[in-house]
Amino acid sequence: MLTKSAIVAEGLGKRYTITQSARESYSTLRDTIAGGIRRREKVEAVDFWALQDVSFDIAQGDVVGIIGRNGAGKSTLLKLLSRITEPTTGRIRIRGRVASLLEVGTGFHPELTGRENIFLNGAILGMSRREIVARFDEIVSFAEVEQFLDTPVKRYSSGMYVRLAFAVAANLDPEVLIVDEVLAVGDSQFQRKCLGKMKDFSTSEGRTVLFVSHSMASVRALCTRAMWLDHGRVRMQGSSLDVIRGYLETSMEAAETTLSLEGVRRTAGQGERLLINRVTLNEGESVLHGEQLRVRIDYELRDPSADVAFGLGFSSPEGVRMMSIDSDLEAERRNLAQPHSGSITMSLPVLRLQPGRYALDVAARSGDNVSLDYLPACTWIDVLPGPTTPAVIIRETGGVREPASWLWESDESAESAAI
């Protein structure tokens, strides 16, 4: 029996026209009054292709992970599939209703309550009021927002927004569910809950899921297939394990010790009050196992924030967290009252991570643990063997290797004496 196609894309392309102004000449006010040449601006239109010649066929019931670096075209593709924008070239065929969760608050009216937005979204999906009522309690229970159900969603935190938006998207009977990285805004417990729901959505109900994530562990655990976008084109598609392996092998070439983060795409709500704009490792020098590690985080405070703390996370290429370091475990949180530019430097006397490659997460949060800025897998760190690294522990897999005292008890000496 042939499996039906849920989504077919043929030759998709999306072009944006970017206008740039270039000043041809400059004159002062005095020059202008004196009859000098007036300053003119020349406007130039430049074509930018966010996607080019993208083709794929996704079967009904598949869970497909879409991976790639920032700016690869992942979000543009999801907007095309969600009918938010039209392709410049090519065509898309989708079987059934599509529910998408692309940005915090997408599809919600800020002045309406949570209850009203549930019915609004159901109506947009073409559901009758009776169908929405039948699913209403399940949606509210999953979102865990009972207390705020009759509050306008403009007063929701970003985490509450995401919980309700995902619950609505996943429980209103769509045939295709599209989820962008917006789940990173929620807490880890809710992220696991959403991943479980998406898995059930596919395996037990035979529906199709498209999932964008920087977490290779999540993609590998959830997705049967994956597609790797690179500079707007499909670089590779196939089994999730093969695609992730190909992506990581290529990404290995891009490790950096100084990284500018101002232009990195963030999920909604991140970087608005405090923006992390640069990370520097060991003043630009190599990172060695068994030696000191220094990480400097430069930031720009835009709005006053209380009880601010910073954190670093080190993960394996598959996305498994190996080590976490948080400033509030060793130092007091700080109240940052006035907009300014500043930095905080983490110093670790001895780096115990084994030689290998690790993805670095950088984050800042306020006293109520609200994320101020979060940059998952913003760069790779190559931990190299240091002068104290025994050759025996140099291996491909990472982790933390800690020294410890060992007590060895044996009756070997007594047996030897008896021989």
Cβ neighbours for 394, distance < 8 A, ≥ 6 positions apart: 354, 355, 385
Average confidence (pLDDT) over 102-109: 71
Query: In this model, does residue 392 exceed pLDDT 60?
Result: no
- The mean pLDDT of 376-387, rounded to a whole number, is 80
Question: 57: left (phi > 0), else alpha (psi -120 to 50), else beta?
Answer: beta
pLDDT bracket for residue 103 (50, 70, 90): low
Domain boundaries of the chain, sorted by first residue: 5-251, 256-393
State how far the Cα of 292 lies from the Cα of 201, in Å rounded to an integer.
46
Instruction: Please check the confidence at residue 77 and state whether its pLDDT lies above 90.
Output: yes
The answer to whether residue 28 scores a pLDDT higher than 60 is no
DSSP letter for 140, please: H
Fold of 256-393: Coagulation Factor XIII; Chain A, domain 1 (2.70.50)
| Top-confidence residue, 184 or 337 | 337
Q: What is the mean pLDDT of the chain?
A: 81
pLDDT tens-digit profile of 109-120?
889 999 998 998
Kindly state the tokens that stand for 226.
């994956």
User: From its phi and psi, is residue 418 left (phi > 0), alpha (psi between -120 and 50) or beta?
Assistant: alpha
Q: Tell me: the pLDDT tens digits for 291-307?
A: 899 999 999 999 999 99
Asked if residue 106 has pLDDT above 80, the reply is: no
DSSP 282-328: GGGSPEETTS-EEEEEEEEE-S-EEEEEEEEEEE-TTS-EEEEEEGG
- Listed in sequence order, the residues at least 6 apart from 208 whose beta carbon sits closer than 8 Å to its beta carbon are 6, 7, 58, 59, 60, 61, 62, 63, 64, 175, 176, 177, 202
pLDDT in tens, 139-151: 898 888 888 999 9
Same fold across 5-251 and 256-393 = no
- Closest by CA to 342, choosing from 282, 419, 287, 276, is 276
Once rounded to an integer, what is the mean pLDDT over residues 352-367? 87
CATH class of 5-251: alpha beta
- The highest-confidence range among 188-197, 311-320, 396-405, by mean pLDDT, is 311-320
